[in-house]
Amino acid sequence: MLKTFPITAEVNHHHSDKQKSGKASRWAQICFVLLAICLLIFFRNTPQFNTMGITFISIVLEAFPFMLIGTLVGGFIEVFVPQEKITRWLPEGRFMTVFTAAGLGIFFPVCECAVVPVVRRLLNKGVPLSAAVAFLLGGPIVNPVVAASTAVAYFFDWSIVVNRLAFGYFIAVAAGLLMSAFFTKTQAIRPDTLENQRFFVHADSAESGVNTSLRKKIGLAVNHAANDFFDIGRFLVIGAFLAASIQLLAPRYLFSPIASTPVSSISIMMVMAIVLNLCSEADAFVAASLQWTLVPISAQLAFMILGPMLDIKLLLMYGRIFRNRAIIVLSAITFLLVFLSMIFRDFMIK
């Protein structure tokens, strides 16, 4: 049986908020489609359009498989893992939960595109906000695939690998703890996502119960995954489009740090990480290509640590999990933590 929830004043408030942001978001999406069609009609066959188009499609093609895997894992978590089990698996105590979650990527290597739908489902299964944020930020860095790609890019300079993973881990832990200090779960997570999910859980619970056959359960999980992909996929597309456009408008050499000072080089490399939207398995190679320049190692690390945590496509995808205020705070916290820790590293090394 489908259970309904009591409509409280808070829910009404959320509902009007949702309608307002929903309308704005819808108009933004309509503008995106119209802009893309105009570009296709009026600018095709220009070098600018080709460069932007190739970059845009490449990001989408590269990210789609990982996102499909992420939504599938999320779907299976939704149907096969009961809430009580997840609560039981989590270590007791807020700190332990966050420290564990930030390092989960070692066992579940996920990239930044795959982790979003998984975290979305985990939040609905009772995972605390702090742990969810720690996994969201730490998972795409603290994992063996990223460690290997960083090692290869830097010719097996293990100090770079250790620095990247260690700073990534501690920044994820700190961001998780800070987010839970600033927000409660209901304050940070989109109300409509939670409400929809609750309805889903209840509606599905009849089907996903003990008596339901395994085949039906799998069907249900895949159906959840397909709907998730259909929902979140559009934000990946818009993010990739924006990233490709910015790459076109702001050439790489503009970011090339005149940078003799750590502050400017670290800041510039962090902005570049947000703009370029590279996969966490590829960014080490781009960073390593700067080794011969004046860009200090701390700035290269800032690029490799911030990129998988925060970039344009991720910001849009976070919009399917968090409220706008939470996204702003999360972005600010992440940016500041990466910046300060890299300045600190640079200072200590000198």
Partner 1 sequence: MKEKVKNTLAVFSVCLPAITFIVWIAAYCWLLNGDRYKAFMQPKLRPMLILALLLLLIFVMALISQLSRKKKETNITDVWLRTAILFVPALFLWTVYGQSLGAYALSKKTFDADEIFSIPQTQPEQLSIMDSSVKSASLLDLLKNSDEFEGTHVATEGMVFRSNTIAENTFKIFRFAIICCAADALPLWILVNSEESQNLENETWVKVEGIFKIKKINGRQIPHIDAEAVQPITTPAPEKQYLFFY
- Name the site residues for partner 1 (rule: CB under 8 A): 26, 29-30, 32-33, 36, 40, 44-45, 47-51, 53-62, 64-66, 68-69, 72, 219, 222-223, 225-227, 229-231, 233-234, 237-238, 240-241, 243-244, 247-248, 251-253, 255-256, 276-279, 281-283, 285-286, 289-290, 293
- Whose Cβ is closer to partner 1: residue 83's or residue 196's? 196
Which tokens hold the place of 135? Answer: 């996994």
DSSP for 184-252 reads -HHHHB-HHHHHHHHHHHHHHHTTSSTTS-HHHHHHHHHHHHHHHHHHHHHHHHHHHHHHHHHHHHS-H
Minimum distance from residue 262 beta carbon to partner 1 (Å): 18
Minimum distance from residue 55 beta carbon to partner 1 (Å): 5
Residue 80: its H or E element:
helix 47-80
CA–CA gap between residue 178 and residue 137 (Å, rounded): 13
Minimum distance from residue 3 beta carbon to partner 1 (Å): 18
**DSSP label at residue 105:** G
CA–CA gap between residue 193 and residue 320 (Å, rounded): 7
- Whose Cβ is closer to partner 1: residue 238's or residue 330's? 238
- Whose Cβ is closer to partner 1: residue 25's or residue 100's? 25
Q: Which residue has the tokens 């590279």?
A: 278
- Whose Cβ is closer to partner 1: residue 154's or residue 169's? 154
Contact predicate 183/329, CB 8 Å: yes
Contact predicate 117/71, CB 8 Å: yes
- Whose Cβ is closer to partner 1: residue 14's or residue 313's? 313
Minimum distance from residue 339 beta carbon to partner 1 (Å): 21
Minimum distance from residue 272 beta carbon to partner 1 (Å): 10
Minimum distance from residue 102 beta carbon to partner 1 (Å): 25
Using DSSP's 3-state secondary structure scheme, residue 42 falls into helix
Contact predicate 106/138, CB 8 Å: no
Minimum distance from residue 286 beta carbon to partner 1 (Å): 6
- Whose Cβ is closer to partner 1: residue 3's or residue 44's? 44
Give residues with Cβ within 8 angstroms of 338, minimum separation 6.
167, 171, 270, 302, 305, 306, 309
- Whose Cβ is closer to partner 1: residue 73's or residue 327's? 73
